[in-house]
Amino acid sequence: GMAYMDARELPGIARDEAGNERFAQRVQSTLARLRRVDAAFPRDVTVHHLWGYVHHEQARRERARIAAAEANHHYLLALDLANARPRARAALLQALGTLQASLGNHRLAVSHFERRARLPFMRPEAELAFHVALARSLFHARRQPEAVASAQAALRFLDAHPELASHRALVLDLLAF
């Protein structure tokens, strides 16, 4: 529980000198907690998902390749352990796709996103984010016709969900490729 609460706070920590110090300390304390939980409950999907998430946030903030590799390792381990849990698999494949896209590995990102597409979506926001991320990675993987089709699917999805209207400007910006 505590590791989860700590991890959830990472993205909101200020990006100034004091914030960077707090972020680094929070990462270390959260990882130490996860190592203790892992010792007690080895091969737990949630532990490795969270472990991946912490390193993913570290990679995002510090542009650290080692953190990205660690995130990838823990996400893949969690994915392997989650074979009977479609919701966990969906979240992990989305995270893996997002991680690889951020590293410029768009072909690999597309393969994760395509696997994610076959699993259920729990929230319209998640489905919209998926369509946008897939379209962008298809474009960067030089698969233009599919990228355009995916971008059009994102816009149709946006039109079909008036409650997502506040995301329109960002979506149009992200799809301006």
Which pLDDT tens digits describe the chain residue by residue (177 residues)? Answer: 788 888 999 999 999 999 999 999 999 999 999 999 999 999 999 999 999 999 999 999 998 999 999 999 999 999 999 999 999 999 999 999 999 999 999 999 999 999 999 999 999 999 999 999 999 999 999 999 999 999 999 999 999 999 999 999 999 999 998
DSSP 119: S
81 close to 42: Cβ distance less than 8 angstroms: no
Residues 6+ apart with CB under 8 A from 160: none
3-state SS record for 8-56: HHHHHCCCCHHHHHHHHHHHHHHHHHHHHHHHHCCCCHHHHHHHHHHHH
